[in-house]
Amino acid sequence: MTLKGLTVALLTALVPMGLAMEARADTVTAHCDLYAPGEDYAYLSSNCTFSQRQGYVSVQLQSNGHRYEFDPIPNSQPGNFRDQYGNLVYRQSGLGDAGQIFEFVDGSHLWVLWDTSSSYGSAPVQSPSRVATLTAYDRGSQINLRSQATVRSRANGYGLAGDQVNILECVQDTDTPGSDFNWCKVQFLESGAIGWIRSDFIIFPSDGE
Check if the beta carbon of residue 163 is closer than 8 Å to that of residue 184.
no
d(CA 181, CA 186): 15
- Give the pLDDT of residue 5: 46
Considering the domain 26-113, what is its CATH architecture?
Answer: Roll (2.30)
Show the CA angle centred on residue 137, arms to residues 131 and 141, nearest 5°: 85
Q: Which of 55, 63, 53, 57 is CA-nearest to residue 32?
A: 63
Task: Read off φ and ψ for residue 13, nearest 5 degrees.
Answer: -70, -30
The stretch 17-38 carries a mean pLDDT of 64
Q: Give every CB contact of residue 103 below 8 A, 6+ residues apart in sequence.
A: 89, 90, 91, 92, 109
Percent of the chain surpassing pLDDT 90: 33
CATH topology of domain 128-207: SH3 type barrels. (2.30.30)
Burial class (CB in 10 A: 0-12, 13-18, 19+), 79: middle
Checking if the pLDDT of 147 tops 80, the result is: yes
Encode pLDDT of 42-78 as tens digits: 667 778 899 999 889 999 988 778 899 999 999 988 8
For the chain, the structural domain boundaries read 26-113, 128-207
d(CA 145, CA 193): 9
Of residues 36 and 84, more confidence is placed in 84
Percent of the chain surpassing pLDDT 70: 77
Check if the beta carbon of residue 122 is closer than 8 Å to that of residue 49.
no
